[in-house]
Structure 1
């Protein structure tokens, strides 16, 4: 079990979810439930409201060094057409009211067309994100096209849309300024899911402010002064290309009480495969970084498809 592996490695550092909840829940409380979908994907539930972030569940066996020789599924190249694992999605996602997309790469957006059609959820994303969804037949009344700087109120929450930067992939050589000004031809090949600009979101629920990231980079001036109590922090290797990434991020956002790693797993293998190496190589060093930069913050390491609850008093 993943929890056992985590306990063996970082028992003196990690604050486990049940213990953490008992420490912060006092009196009458309202819960925020989170479930990690892998990559940068999440289900966040408050009462009857269901919000998805970058829901990517198909987890293609993409031909790369990150593939596992024990994975006997079909291998894909970036030149192949993408097809969602609809059976798996149907098992995990029955309802969604809103979907937030940080950028348009396949590991963030490619399952959204199927999910948006299935649930009729409203989707918030960049021009490129929305044009890709239009290509798949998602109607305009389901789409909110944003560029960063918007601050919108909805019935159950409000959201500040924050301009951001993509992770510094390929040792800082990644750069892609392409956007889709019009809907491309669908279906798309894996490589056709371009970045199309990057965003962060500050989602203000009734009892929590959650700052979300879809990668391992940020624009410091855009997050300075924010006061989230929960931050979903990108924790893949490319964070090491950014100067004092964890320290600057936590300082700029006023040392959030709850720090949750995201986009840290090997999302090219099925859910049942071990993530032990990712824990050792990414999570353990990150926890030490948090401990040094914000010792009062609590780190919660999520398991795939396992829900945990954060409670607080109104």
Structure 2
């Protein structure tokens, strides 16, 4: 059935297999863990920042026809600790699990007004909510984060579930309740390295100008949705490494074999990254990369 729908598994030999920096837990390194979809955990000995966590991943029928219920036990197992949770936009595959993660860990939820409405709906107290319209530095311990206003990419010519969430939605929500709201790209400054996160298939060139990063987490769908997507992102942010994200279908269980979103060409995406002057690092689901804090 998956093959009839055009879904293809990712061949194992596409994944990055070199030793990038260090063994797990080594001091002086930034750990990046890929959660699937647009999700990442960034951590060092001082701080843990989570971006767009989406672990529950209900199947297609439940996503379309039922209320979406976070898998609390799975969230606890995979992300036992967090200090901040950053949301790029409020679609279900970016925000559904974030309030539950914050309730479990005490982390702050940081994002747009729509993100705050979702946090209120899920029962987060005000002290764990930090709204931003972007273009401001937000201190996160010794780290800081900076949201860059952006826009959501078009899929098959349309933006899915556009608009803002202006009041707390029903909780648990249905997919249609979670409109994207303000879209934010994130710049995360860890003290040693800077990580940029682009979680959708479009961005605003001028918002990226003047910013630089060492590691760029880049949405693979964008290569098909927007002309010069890879070139523009890499030339403006000048990363040394690019980690593809949002290439898997988001519908398979977290620990199952992932499938590529139809139309995503990972080899072509990685080749474009190389041609733009950066090194692509395709990471398995729940795979870890370790970057030296100084290089």
Which structure shows the bigger proportion of residues in helix conformation? 1
Contact 1:153 1:159 survives alignment (8 Å) = yes
Q: How many residues align?
A: 284
Question: 2:63·2:174 contact (CA, 8 Å) conserved in 1?
Answer: no
The one-character-per-residue Cα deviations of 1:133-186 (angstroms, maximum 9, x if unpaired) are: 10111011101101121222332211221001112212x322655212332332
Q: CA deviation at 1:17?
A: 4.3
Q: CA deviation at 1:77?
A: 4.3
The structure 1 segments of at least 4 consecutive aligned residues displaced by more than 6 Å after TM superposition are none
Question: Aligned pair 1:56/2:54, yes or no?
Answer: yes
Kindly state the Cα deviation for residue 193 of structure 1 after the two structures are TM-superposed. 1.1
**What's the TM-score, normalizing by structure 2?**
0.89
Alignment partner, residue 68 of structure 1: none
Structure 1 residue aligned with 2:194: 209
Mapped partners of 1:281, 1:274: distance in 2: 16
Residue pair 1:15, 1:298 contacting (<8 A) in 2 also: no
103-112 or 271-280, which deviates more:
271-280
Secondary structure of 2:293's counterpart equals strand
Find 2:217's aligned residue among 232, 239, 245.
232
Match of 2:75 among 89, 93, 98: 89
Gaps of 5+ in 1: 63-74
Work out the CA distance in 2 between the residues paired with 1:277 and 1:234: 12
Question: What is aligned with 1:5?
Answer: 11
* Closer/same/farther in 2, CA of residues 307 and 280 from structure 1, 3 Å limit: farther
CA RMSD of superposed structures (Å):
2.3
Q: Residue 202 of structure 2 contacts residue 225 of structure 2 at CA under 8 Å; is this kept in 1?
A: no
Cα 1:125–1:182 change in 2 (3 A) is: same
Alpha-carbon shift at residue 40 of structure 1 (Å): 0.6
1:152 to 115, 138, 146: 138
Deviations 1:166-221 (A, max 9, x none): 12212x32265521233233232122111112101111001101011111211000
CA distance in structure 2 between the partners assigned to 1:312 and 1:115 by the alignment:
27
Partner Cα distance (1:56, 1:17) in 2 = 27
